[in-house]
Amino acid sequence: MPAMSQTPLAYTPHDHDLCVKSALANAEAICVRQGVRLTALRRRVLELVWQSHKPLGAYDILAVLSEQDGRRAAPPTVYRALDFLLENGLVHRIASLNAFMGCVHPEHAHQSQFLICRNCHTAIEMESQTISEAITAAARSIDFVVQGETVEVIGLCAACRKAV
Amino acid sequence: MPAMSQTPLAYTPHDHDLCVKSALANAEAICVRQGVRLTALRRRVLELVWQSHKPLGAYDILAVLSEQDGRRAAPPTVYRALDFLLENGLVHRIASLNAFMGCVHPEHAHQSQFLICRNCHTAIEMESQTISEAITAAARSIDFVVQGETVEVIGLCAACRKAV
DNA sequence: AGATGAACGTTATTATATAACTTGGAGATC
DNA sequence: GATCTCCAAGTTATATAATAACGTTCATCT
Ligand SMILES: [Zn+2]
Ligand SMILES: [Zn+2]
Ligand SMILES: [Zn+2]
Ligand SMILES: [Zn+2]
């Protein structure tokens, strides 16, 4: 699997087919280790989510399953698959977009931190210990115990700033 | 107006009627300064949002306007008022809850940072420069320019930890 | 009073997500 | 191999959140 957490993958040109393939292989391994079943449907949904580095909506997934795969799918089909992937840390939900992104380092539990480009809609996952620590510190100062973070930053990526 | 940004107001017992009243007075002043109209409806919506320290959904507001105020209200009525309040920095939207909160320091533009108690649903607004700086630094390191932050932290507040 | 434009009312629709129940199918048990 | 069991997926209906498009009212300025 390519080193995805160091330089943000979404930025740099890369072999994206390989990128998707390795994400799926990684997911298989994780599911085996966790003793959970990555069924064909769940695998396919994960693949679709991974096929772009942009957040994907549940109904976009649904459309592909219905129109492209010819599967009889209704909303629960997609949401159940997404729930499974979320529970097992294979995707993240982006609340501010009602959309989903493949997780770039699902091996270990972690918080959800994203940079989202307003122009090209690419979402880049961060894993900044500094941000998490700042949040924990701020929370502790008013006696609040953190269970989960949602950090979603909107702005402009390097490529889009150059383009404009 | 009570000092709301120092010790989190939502935590401490306080004269909440006064709390709401001063928020409204503050809003009036801001709207005058900005040359925008805080109409009766907008004022009322702001009041409802402020009447709890918990995030309030658009349809909750709608229900009060219809049932309690006897006003003929449909979703656009509420959403337009909320849009106005958002534009003028008087309320924040909490993406992870699809809900709205009165802003505790609407005098100056700032990012939205919230601690949300999983148990009592109280939402406490933070204004941590440290968090913002950590985000900006992490973004800069991969050449991303920040335009807006969404920080929504879920966990347990002091009161609820004691209660359990 | 009449013109103007913003705010609000009204109706309909779109987008997102879940509830509740049924059917199917992989793996365990006999 | 047949049966049992349980989880996954199909199915139908509905809940919840948000917006589009158009008409009406009302404050304000001339
Ligand atoms: Zn890729
Ligand atoms: Zn991740
Ligand atoms: Zn209060
Ligand atoms: Zn605020």
The domain ranges of chain A are: 14-106, 110-164
**CA A41 to C1' D9, whole Å:** 9
A146, A139 Cβ separation under 8 angstroms: yes
CA distance B121 to chain A (A): 13
Indicate the burial class of A90 (C-beta count within 10 angstroms; 0-12, 13-18, 19 or more): buried
Task: List the single best residue of A5, A127, A153 to mutate versus B (max B Cβ within 10 A).
Answer: A153
Interface residue of B7, B9, B94, B135 to substitute, partner A, most A CBs within 10 Å = B135
> Percent of chain B scored above 90 by pLDDT?
81
Query: Number of CB pairs < 8 Å for A and B?
Result: 125
Establish whether the CB of B79 is closer than 7 Å to any nucleic acid atom in strand D: yes
Q: Does the beta carbon of B152 lie under 8 angstroms from any beta carbon of chain A?
A: yes
Average pLDDT in chain A: 92
Determine the pLDDT at residue B52.
87
Compute, in angstroms, the gap from residue B102 CA to the centroid of ligand 4: 7
Of residues A135, A143, A153, nearest to B139 (C-beta): A153
Model-wide pTM > 0.85: yes
Rounded CA–C1' distance between B37 and C5, in angstroms: 14
* pLDDT confidence bin for A52, thresholds 50/70/90: confident
Name which of A135, A143, A158 is nearest B144 (Cβ-Cβ): A158
Tens digit of each residue's pLDDT (9 = 90 or more) over A100-129: 999 999 999 899 999 999 999 999 999 999
Domain A14-106 and domain A110-164, same fold? Reply is: no
| Ligand that comes closest to the CA of residue A88 | 2
Q: Answer whether residue A6 shows pLDDT above 70.
A: no
- Calpha distance A96→A99 (Å, rounded): 8
Phi-psi category of residue B55: left, alpha or beta, with phi > 0 → left and psi -120 to 50 → alpha: beta
**Least confident interval from A14-18, A44-48, A97-101:** A14-18
pLDDT confidence bin for B11, thresholds 50/70/90: low
Domain covering B14-106, topology: Arc Repressor Mutant, subunit A (1.10.10)
Q: Is domain A110-164 given the CATH code 3.30.420.40 in the classification?
A: no
* Greater pLDDT, A163 or B55: B55
Neighbours of ion ligand 3 (CB under 5 A): B 16, 19
Q: Which ligand is nearest to the CA of A20?
A: 1
**Structure confidence at residue B10 (pLDDT):** 66
The set of long-range contacts for A131-139, using a CB threshold of 8 Å and a minimum separation of 24, is: A131/B131, A131/B134, A131/B135, A131/B138, A133/B134, A134/B128, A134/B130, A134/B131, A134/B133, A134/B134, A135/B128, A135/B131, A135/B151, A135/B153, A137/B130, A138/B113, A138/B126, A138/B128, A138/B130, A138/B131, A139/B115, A139/B153, A139/B155
